[in-house]
Amino acid sequence: MTSRSRWKAWPSWAAMFVVLVALLAVGSTRDSGPLNPGDRIDSISRRVACPVCDGESVFESRNPASEAIRAEIRASVYDGTATDNEILASIANSYGGKVLLVPSSSGFDALIWALPAAGLMVGLVGLWFAFRRWREEAAALGPPSTEDYSLVEQARQARSEHVDE
């Protein structure tokens, strides 16, 4: 690929990246529609950890502490004045922030969601620069010489002798 064709290709890659980010943003924020109260209770209780069980959600646990939290969620849902996030915030205030299985997507907790994506992007950009540099270094060396080919052939013969033993 020549440098001229590379300059022509980057806008299409940038456009694909923008479309991908837009689709991910729409998909992650899309609402599935109104839920009935039972579905809301189940959804909220799946996002809250049992305070005395290890690794279980309030939805799965039959512990009395989980039953109490489920009753609190049920009362808040049937009261109809609080959103799901407000109910989760109330439970986090009552039982501590560690009771939430899914961290919030705002404030300091947003870093939990953003850092892996940022790390992936930094890694991909770093690989792109490394591959580009290696390609330029290989092009600067020129085509392989006959000495290079003979060296490779010697290594292959030595390896085949070692494998046959």
Q: So where are the chain's domains?
A: 34-102, 115-165
Enter the tokens of residue 33.
């529609």
DSSP structure class, residue 144: P
pLDDT at 27 (0 to 100): 76
Q: Roughly how many angstroms between the first and final C-alpha of the chain, as a whole number?
A: 45
Burial annotation 82-113 (CB, 10 A radius, 16+ → b, else e) = eeeeebbeebeeebeeebbbeebeeeeeeeee
- Listed in sequence order, the DSSP H helices in the chain are 3-29, 37-46, 64-79, 84-95, 110-141, 146-164
Tell me the whole-structure pTM to 2 decimals: 0.51
Burial of 150 (0-12, 13-18, 19+ CB in 10 A): exposed
Angle between helix 84-95 and 64-79 (nearest 10): 140
Enter the tokens of residue 24.
């991910």
Is 80 a residue whose pLDDT tops 80? yes
Categorize the per-residue pLDDT at 60 as very low, low, confident or very high, splitting at 50, 70 and 90: very high
CATH class of 34-102: mainly alpha
More confident residue, 113 or 95: 95
Name the residue among 55, 77, 58 with its Cα closest to residue 66.
58
pLDDT at 36 (0 to 100): 86
More confident residue, 165 or 112: 112
